[in-house]
Chains A and B, each alone.
Chain A
């Protein structure tokens, strides 16, 4: 545009280049050859379909074969898939080859028209809209306009209200777990009570709270209750007196549910005594009450106070003192 303004001559459009004919356009032999190629491609597709059906019927679904790169592969699945792939692929190749070799390949020019309607049409349209809406009296009858606004504005509320029964109110469910004073730590898997001696220094175990008899453990329970037991040498702890009193003989217990987004914090690095969440790599230092030392988590994993009961089994000294898992609006603790 700037060039035109300066009155500069631009390179001219030489127009569509002259069409170059393909061999098949004037050579009957080449055209017949192309026809044969297309036919062969279509037939290859038919072979693919026959192969698919044959492998569906004849190949045992339990049969595995070893192939380079692919490794151990289910023969039926592989044969079905490659047969299906061939039957589809060759139809496509045949059609494209047909289009490219035998169908007319001369480019065609079509004109475009500006979408904008003529000024007359546009003003006529505005006039019509005004006239018609005037006929409805929308402008004059403000009572109708306002009451209609109220009706239409409110109608969206019914579906919202109807969705209320999708679920119960959260109440305090996000803040509570099944841990409380004296509840035994049960191995998971296994469901057996655990003694301090069962856990060697350097080892880790997942435990769940013992539920009252007759209560079935659900995934919802596990999602809040899962606890990781870690045993290190007691002198390695770097805890204040209260938190130290929550441990027992070097055994420390943390909620296994990540304080960031709730994944299971399952990776324990024995040498560094770090816990790592595989979802977003939040890293917690076990010796310092699961203090966050890396990653997006903003809070330590809640620590569970533990001790042993009269029979020598590990039990919770008290429930968690803060909600476990990811944060939520009503959560009230730092």
Chain B
């Protein structure tokens, strides 16, 4: 035995004597992880979170959240001798006087954008492949929680520097709080320690941003990953892949090297962005004062959809009995987002109710094989994209020489017209893709090779698919439709009432499919002419 092996053995022995972990570790070091590019999306989110913790800690060494007024006399000459809050001054100090400070600020901001983007794309992957189905509903809910908190955390983060842009964002947040019926003014005064902007808000959100929310993130991410570990990862369908197995590479060494390497790749790319791509140049905005604003005020992209909703809201307020209710703020700021996120969180349960499917699912769906779900996802996405366009209406208007009014009206009508249209089109595309699958399985691939038969007839040679490919295209099961409950024994029609009818109707929509081609059909065709 080599010396190094002996040392490793001793260390392992020391730990096992005290924990009995050897058995568990032995089993889990060879744990199998399926390989697919789309499984790296969640990893990107995880790694960005680690980057955020590291770069964020660096920033806290110099950042001062205080609202105390100071006179700036740092390296950035254009703001010399300007009165500003300590938080803005310390952000300038980080940007211009701390070596690598601007780099870290930019890495932190880019990592936040990548974190949110990765969460969204990961969520889309999980949704469109049906990975949220039993037994993974809890992880879906945790994911929705992380997305929601991520939006809040990002907003609080870019509000900290107290520059003109972020102060405007806080002003809007204050207006949303203030608009809450009955308690709004009180909540606002409590949150801000008095009238807006006050001295209390930024120090308060600072501790929430650097301690409270990261702690909750850490806990949720831990549970999220433990569940992935315990329930084993889902896998895409294919030859040899079943509901009852998992095919992939063992944790040690392959997966460790790939995942560990990928962390460094994500970090490297984020650092590169931080080095070359300027982001949130707060020194150009100036310190916050409620009487000023810069044109083209834009939030980060994960807030943009919310801003777009607020921008397109109709000018509705109710004035009655000495009170005011601002529907123009409540509907886009709280009610619509509430409905969206609740619907998203409940989707796994709604789908399970519609299909009546109570089995475990570990094989992922190809999106085309779940046309209704895919169409719902595309519809929701189109809704968000339309409101996101409106969130950037001022920028789009100036860049493309359009009028803001035109874009606003286009999106105001668009949010009602585009999503249903996208639903119908997506569902049709899915069914067409199913038809194409069916065609290619039964008739083979068109090779483009024309052959003249001895008797003069021209045919195009069709190449039969490999058994692996045929299986991959036909392995999925097609959900049966739940029948509309018939009259029960007492002759009561439709005993489950409207609920049963609704369920049957939705189940019908959900089960619209092109029949999966089968071996028997292929055999029947072989006899004939094609």
Q: Which of A2, A78, A224, A256 contacts B275 (CB 8 A)?
A: A78
Contact yes or no, B189 A169, CB < 8 A: yes
Q: Which residue of B lies closest to A94 (CB)?
A: B261
The tally of CB-CB contacts under 8 A between chains A and B is: 347
Chain B residues numbered 196-236 whose CB sits less than 8 Å from any CB in chain A: 196-198, 200, 231-232
Contact yes or no, A99 B258, CB < 8 A: yes
Assuming the contacts A266-B293, A327-B324, asked whether A220 and B196 have C-beta atoms less than 8 A apart, the reply is yes
Which residues of chain A come closer than 8 Å to B75, judged between CB atoms?
Answer: 61-62
Q: Which residue of A lies closest to B250 (CB)?
A: A108
Task: Give the distance in Å from the alpha carbon of A164 to the alpha carbon of B187 in the complex.
Answer: 10
Q: What 0/1 readout, one digit per residue, does chain B (80-97) give for beta carbons within 8 Å of chain A?
A: 000000000000000000
Q: Which of B271, B332, B470 contacts A11 (CB 8 A)?
A: B470
Chain A residues numbered 1-28 whose CB sits less than 8 Å from any CB in chain B: 1-3, 5, 8-17
Answer whether residue B16 sits at the interface, using C-beta atoms and an 8 A cutoff.
Answer: no
Contact yes or no, A333 B185, CB < 8 A: no
Q: Which of A86, A174, A279, A332 contacts B168 (CB 8 A)?
A: A279
Assuming the contacts A2-B478, A3-B516, asked whether A281 and B408 have C-beta atoms less than 8 A apart, the reply is yes
Contact yes or no, A166 B317, CB < 8 A: no
Contact yes or no, A170 B172, CB < 8 A: no
Q: Which of A89, A104, A280 contacts B268 (CB 8 A)?
A: A89
A200: min CB distance to chain B, Å? 22
Which residues of chain A come closer than 8 Å to B323, judged between CB atoms?
Answer: 329-332
Contact yes or no, A278 B296, CB < 8 A: yes
Q: What 0/1 readout, one digit per residue, does chain A (290-302) give for beta carbons within 8 Å of chain B?
A: 0010111111000
> Of residues B183, B247, B324, which shows the largest number of chain A Cβ atoms within 10 Å of its Cβ?
B324
A interface, how many residues as a size bin? 35 or more
Q: Which of B180, B194, B245, B470 contacts A220 (CB 8 A)?
A: B194
Contact yes or no, A261 B324, CB < 8 A: no
Which residues of chain B come closer than 8 Å to A98, judged between CB atoms?
Answer: 257, 261
Contact yes or no, A226 B326, CB < 8 A: no
B524: min CB distance to chain A, Å? 11
Answer whether residue A56 sits at the interface, using C-beta atoms and an 8 A cutoff.
Answer: yes
30 residue pairs bridging A and B, Cβ less than 8 Å apart: A3-B478, A3-B515, A10-B475, A11-B470, A11-B471, A12-B519, A14-B471, A16-B239, A16-B240, A56-B99, A74-B102, A84-B271, A85-B269, A85-B271, A93-B261, A96-B262, A105-B249, A108-B248, A168-B189, A169-B189, A174-B195, A220-B195, A261-B171, A261-B329, A264-B168, A278-B294, A298-B315, A329-B324, A332-B323, A332-B324
Q: Knowing that A61-B75, A257-B290, A329-B183 touch, tell me 10 more A-B residue pairs with CB under 8 angstroms.
A: A87-B268, A90-B268, A92-B263, A112-B244, A173-B195, A262-B174, A281-B311, A292-B315, A296-B315, A328-B324
